Amino acid sequence: MRKRISVSDLMKYKSQGKKITALTAYSFYDAKIIDSTPLDMILVGDSLGMVFQGCSSTIPVTVDHIIYHSRIVVQSTSGPVIVADMPFGSFQISPEKAVENALRIVKESGCNAVKLEGGKNIIPAVEQIVGSGVPVYGHLGLTPQSINQFGSYALRAKHKEEAETLKEDALLLEKAGVSGIFLEKIPADLAGEVSRSLCVPTIGIGAGANCDGQVLVITDILGFDPELKFRFVRKYADLHSVIKNAVENYIKDVVSGTFPNDSESY
């Protein structure tokens, strides 16, 4: 059994020049298998709305969904830091409501930290949550909860003005007490510049190699979706074909009467 890594352990990695390795996970088997590896962090991302529930965005994900999946992931692991996403609508209403939801997520799931999408506008919420004793991660660049404002999941901050705002937001988040910042789908040079400007680590997804760590969505790297062709995703398996072949072979065996055989019967 691994000893659980802490958020402050991960903050030390940066000065040690050690990369943070992170993946999303949502359920018992993915979390348990990850726990048998040295991965540093599991993010129970609100991406679960898309890759677990099959929704077209992360918008419908609720605090209850996050608590349900985070609790399973916490109970299935002993090693990685568990970070839970604060879903859309759970931190925008007021800093007080944000703290209430963050405390609920941490108390009811046992996760170690929460993550909030956004910059300047969310600083009061971040300060209050950090002040309540809950470690917070920021999330800048492509923030999928803002899909209705952005209109697409395209690269962010490629123009100077948006890049400058992102750099300012990163510094504001650090000042507000975040333990790290996720940088999603922004130019690699910008991510490198932001990473060098901060004491806290950056964790990139589609943000190049100069971040202090990397995160990817577990179902993307395992190849569940043969259509998925994001430039920033490296597929390490083709589980779509593995599962499809297994199910087709099972059907064939049942239909032909070769399953179950004598050794599979009582």
Of the pair 152, 248, the CB lying nearest ligand KIV is at 152
Q: Say if residues 47 and 54 touch (Cβ distance below 8 Å).
A: no
- Cα–Cα separations (whole angstroms), residue 184 to 17, 21, 22: 21, 15, 13
- CB within 8 Å of 162: residues ≥ 6 apart: 156
Distance in angstroms (rounded) separating the CA atoms of residues 26 and 81: 14
Does 74 participate in binding ligand KIV (rule CB under 6 A)?
no
Residue 82 interacts with ligand KIV (CB under 6 A): yes or no: no
Q: Which of 30, 40, 85, 220 binds ligand KIV (CB under 6 A)?
A: 85
Q: CB-wise, 134 or 181, nearer to ligand KIV?
A: 181
Per CB under 6 A, 76 contacts ligand KIV: no
The residue among 63 and 261 lying less far from ligand KIV, judged by its C-beta, is 63
- 45 contacts ligand KIV (rule: CB under 6 A): yes
Active site residue 184: yes
Q: Which stretch binds ligand KIV (CB under 6 A): 12-20, 42-50, 75-83, 88-96?
A: 42-50
Q: From the list 205, 207, 211, 222, which residue makes contact with ligand KIV (rule: CB under 6 A)?
A: 205
- How many residues at the interface with ligand KIV, by CB under 6 A? 12
Identify which of 43, 165, 168, 50 has the alpha carbon closest to the alpha carbon of residue 113.
Answer: 43
The DSSP letter of residue 232 is T
Sign of the C-alpha dihedral computed for residues 238, 244, 247 and 251 taken in this order: negative
Environment class of 89 (CB within 10 Å of its CB; exposed 0-12, middle 13-18, buried 19+): middle
Give exposure, 109-134, as e/b (b: 16+ Cβ within 10 Å). bebbbbbbbbbeebbebbbbbbeeeb
Contact characters 110-149, ligand KIV, x per CB under 6 A: -----------------------------x----------
Catalytic residue (choose from 161, 174, 184, 193): 184
Nearest partner of 233 among 218, 246, 244, 249, judged by Cα: 218
Asked if 88 interacts with ligand KIV (CB under 6 A), we say: no
47 binds ligand KIV (CB under 6 A): yes
Residue with smallest beta-carbon separation from ligand KIV: 45
- Separation between Cα atoms, residue 13 and residue 55, nearest integer Å: 35
169: contact with ligand KIV by CB under 6 A: no
Shortest distance, position 205 Cβ to ligand KIV, whole Å:
5
Q: H helices of the chain, where?
A: 7-16, 28-35, 48-51, 63-75, 95-109, 123-131, 147-150, 160-176, 188-197, 218-221, 239-256
For position 30 contacting ligand KIV by CB under 6 A, the verdict is no
Among 72, 99, 186, 215, contact with ligand KIV (rule: CB under 6 A): 215
Which of 184, 212, 219, 222 contacts ligand KIV by CB under 6 A? 184
In the complex, which residues of this chain contact ligand KIV (CB under 6 A)?
A: 24, 43, 45-47, 85, 139, 182, 184, 205, 215, 217
Catalytic positions are 184
